Amino acid sequence: MRRALYASSGLHFGVLIWALIGGSLFSDTEEEPFELTGVTLISAQEFDAMFETVVATPAVVEQPSLPTPPVPDITEPTPPTPEAAAPVVTPPEATPEPPTETQPDMSTFAPLPDTEVQAEVAALPSPPAQDVTAPPSDTPAPSEAPRVAPLPAPAPPPEAEIAPEVVTRPEPSETPAPVPDTPPTAPEEATTEIVTEAETPAAALAPVTSFRPPARPIRTVAEAPTPDTPPAIEERDPLADAIAAAVAEAASEAPPAPVTPAGPPLSAGQRDGLRLAIGQCWNLGTVSSEAMRTTVVVGFSLSQEGVPDTGSIRLVEIIEGTEAGADLAFEAARRAIIRCGRNGYDLPQESYDHWRNIEAVFNPDGMRMR
Amino acid sequence: MTRIFHALLASLLALAALTVQPAIAQSPGPLRIEITEGVIEPLPFALPEFIAGNSAATDAASDITRVIAADLVGTGLFREVPRSAHISSVTSFDSPVQWSDWQAINAQALITGSVSMEGGQLVVRFRLFDVFSEQPLGSGLQFVGSPDSWRRMAHTVADHVYERITGESGYFDSRVVFIAQEGPKNARLKRIAIMDYDGANVQFLTDSRSLVLAPRFSPTGDRILYTSYESGIPRVYIMDLASVRARPLEDDALTMTFSPRFSPDGNSVVFSAERGGNTDIYLLNLQTGDRRRLTDAPSIETAPSFSPDGSQIVFESDRSGTQQLYIMPASGGEGRRISRNDGRYGTPVWSPRGDLIAFTNQQDGRFHIGVMRTDGSEERLLTSSFLDEGPSWAPNGRVIMFTRETAGADGAPAIYSVDISGRNLQRVSTPGMASDPAWSPQLQ
């Protein structure tokens, strides 16, 4: 009985061992690793040509042949592999025939010249300023034509009508007809410009400045009755006296006349219009990347016609960037202000006091990556 | 207590009176506006033909004027006002400028000049004016040179004009060394050639018996490095341009070396070398011959390029599984990865200004030339085509030249240039197929 138990246990143990490790012991042999080999298909003619050439050429190739240009790769050059370094046995194919090479004439190579150009031999003086003796331009500058003639043009003579019958000219009388005395009349009114009501400046209709309220009348202090008895000496506080004196001094100084700009301030739309007008001439296409990182404040004055005073254009402040970049940024800004303001910026005349002086911040941050 | 309170109150009132008064008296300040929107467009300039001082200089005056105009217009930053639109005619170099005439045609800059032959030398003078400010931009300058160097003199004038208007140094008086190619695609013959930056004056420096690749200028422009298969394996050569003589950079003929580049001081060369199937970056001192290994990794490290101050090196490596860009100290080390976006990155080149790194990027089957900051930020892809690769910086760091190859059996390489803004993509004129451009420093 016990023997059967041992036999059964042994058989079960054996089956268990076989299940665990038997697979690897009795499995099929592993697959042999395979190797890929690149092949090239060639034609029979190419094979023949190659065979003939190999026979004809010595075993040692004198000059390394031109390998096939490397497959486009971003490495430069393609990192060599042992296969690439192996000498190429196959000589150049007979076909296609390589072009006849024109050997460079090395003797004609001109070495880099060292001092061919002498730079800045002499700084040339600036040309003379334009004066009245300068030859005039071929094209005369056009002058503005007046919109309305100062005097009315005479009325054209009435066209003569042809009478149906020929009338003989009457004989002139001996005595001239008396000329009636006509009182002298004023010439017809004329103006150099028609100013309609719509074009009348608003300043003429609206008050330019707001009237300040009248000063409060000085309150008169009733004269105190003279006391019969001398007043008692009051205990005075020196600090209070000093403060009172300071207040009185401050109050006694005549306040300077406040300078209030005439006319209404520019609206947001008018400011935007001015910004766009200057911006469309602000060309950043040629400034350096350093200038593109520079923000400058440029101040300038405008005439009443809105034309910039070129002499007033100045660099007020460098908000961001370097001095070198600021010079170029300022030049670009100045060019923009002058170029687009040649004919005057479109700004309301009545608000001239508000835009007489302008400080423009030229900030190229948004233009940098365009 | 009450007195103290009154005293304080009085003090405050006095201060208020003193401070309020000046505020009332102030005049209105200037109107302040902020301009944030401008335009980016070529600056129009007028360039009347330079005046020939004598009959011997007539042709030179015309040619120099033409080259100056081509230089400026070729940047994409300038636009020439056609001469047919000129109102004024400049009859004398010293005649006053008729500002209104040039303003009327919207010429913002005016260049006047003269050319004359004096004692067998060509003398070129020029002046530059800001038309709307009605004042000269800098002083007038005069250049003297041999008649054969008229192109360089024209480039020099254009460089000065460019510098005065843009605030950046020019790049017209410079050269480009490149690989000239000919023959069918499966049997290309390649030679190293050199030309002016605009494609003029092409001259060959090597013959086509050996495959040559990737020439690089020295910082002084008197030597070049390149890779040649003359010995059967790629090896770095150094050539003296004055004598057109080349020699291998190292005597070790069994080691493959490639992808060389000079250090900023010109005394060292950094390059890649393959040993035992592994490619790393090495530094060779040209004066002592000492060779030092800068990277030590099982991956491929190549295409090193120095920063302008010589303190760092950017290179490409596939240590992460794909080609990416890394920066390490010039003394060597692990390096930190700076390329983070999609695709493979290669052929990094540090800008002469030091602020940007140009590279080749490959993603989705297309190649791009791009730039990024040295920390990898602000990456921008400037071009896109079947194959764009191998960027090279202009001396002023504003323009990049690279190779563009067209697809197909008839595909051919050509040299292109592009502004770092991505604008003004142009093909550089070469006599035939060309690739691997390397821009020289500004000539002295």
> Tokens in use for B268?
């060292």
Reported as type and span, the H/E element at residue B346 is strand B344-350
Name the least confident of A160-164, A361-365, B123-127, B393-397.
A160-164
**Residue B436, min C-alpha distance to chain A (Å):** 9
CATH topology of domain B43-166: Rossmann fold (3.40.50)
**Given CA atoms A180, A186, A190, A192 in this order, what sign does their dihedral have?**
positive
Question: If phi over 0 gives left and psi between -120 and 50 gives alpha, with beta otherwise, what is residue B232?
Answer: left
The long-range contacts involving B84-87, CB below 8 angstroms and separated by at least 24 positions, are B86/B46, B86/B48, B87/A137, B87/A138, B87/A139
**Residue B299, min C-alpha distance to chain A (Å):** 11
Question: Is A309 or A203 the better-scoring residue by pLDDT?
Answer: A309
Cβ neighbours, 10 Å, residue A45? 10
The number of helix segments (H) and strand segments (E) in chain A equals: 8, 3
Query: Cα separation of A290 and A234, whole Å?
Result: 74
Q: Are B55 and B142 in contact (CB under 8 A)?
A: no
pLDDT tens column, B75-91: 999 999 999 999 988 98
Helices (H), chain A: 2-26, 44-56, 82-85, 202-205, 238-252, 268-279, 323-340, 352-355
Length of chain B: 444
> CATH 3.40.50.10070 residue ranges in chain B?
43-166
Which of B31, B41, B103, B213 best probes binding to A when mutated, by most A CB atoms within 10 angstroms? B31
CB contact under 8 A, A138 and B88: yes
Whether pLDDT at B222 is above 90: yes
- Residues 290 to 309 of B: which have CB under 8 A from any A CB? 300, 302-303
Whether pLDDT at A225 is above 80: no
Reported as type and span, the H/E element at residue A319 is strand A314-320
Whether pLDDT at A35 is above 60: no
| Residue B39: partners with Cβ closer than 8 Å, 6 or more residues away | A279, A280, A281, A282, A283, A284, A285
Reference A86, options A71, A58, A70, A65; nearest CA is A65
Q: Are B420 and B372 in contact (CB under 8 A)?
A: no
pLDDT tens column, B152-189: 999 999 999 999 999 999 999 999 999 999 998 888 89
Option in A77, A255, A367 nearest B258 (CB): A77
Q: Are B389 and A76 in contact (CB under 8 A)?
A: yes
**Residue B36, min C-alpha distance to chain A (Å):** 5
Q: Are B303 and B346 in contact (CB under 8 A)?
A: yes
Q: Kindly list the residues from chain B whose CB atom is less than 8 angstroms away from the CB atom of residue A129.
A: 96
Report the DSSP beta bridge partners of residue A358.
Answer: A300, B31
Reference A263, options A168, A189, A355, A200; nearest CA is A355
CB contact under 8 A, B130 and A112: no
Which of B9, B26, B39 best probes binding to A when mutated, by most A CB atoms within 10 angstroms? B39
Q: How far is CA A115 from CA A128, B63, B149, B151, in A?
A: 32, 21, 10, 14
For domain A268-365, say whether CATH 3.40.50 is its number: no
The pLDDT assigned to A9 comes to 84
Tell me the residue ranges of DSSP E strands in B63-131.
Answer: 78-80, 109-118, 121-130
Q: Where are the domains of chain A?
A: 268-365
pLDDT tens column, A125-161: 555 544 433 444 444 444 444 444 445 556 666 666 6
- Return the C-alpha torsion angle B92, A286, B168, B127, nearest 10: 10
Name the least confident of A57-66, A169-178, B271-280, B296-305.
A57-66
pLDDT tens column, A72-94: 344 444 444 333 333 333 333 33
Q: Kindly list the residues from chain A whose CB atom is less than 8 angstroms away from the CB atom of residue B242.
A: 111-112
Domain B175-439 sits in CATH at 2.120.10.30
Nearest CA in chain A to B78: A286
**Residue B353, min C-alpha distance to chain A (Å):** 11
Which of A102, A237, A253, A286 best probes binding to B when mutated, by most B CB atoms within 10 angstroms? A286
Q: Is the peptide bond before A96 cis (omega within 30 degrees of 0)?
A: yes
DSSP code per residue over B251-281 = S-SSSEEEEEEE-TTSSEEEEEEEETTEEEE
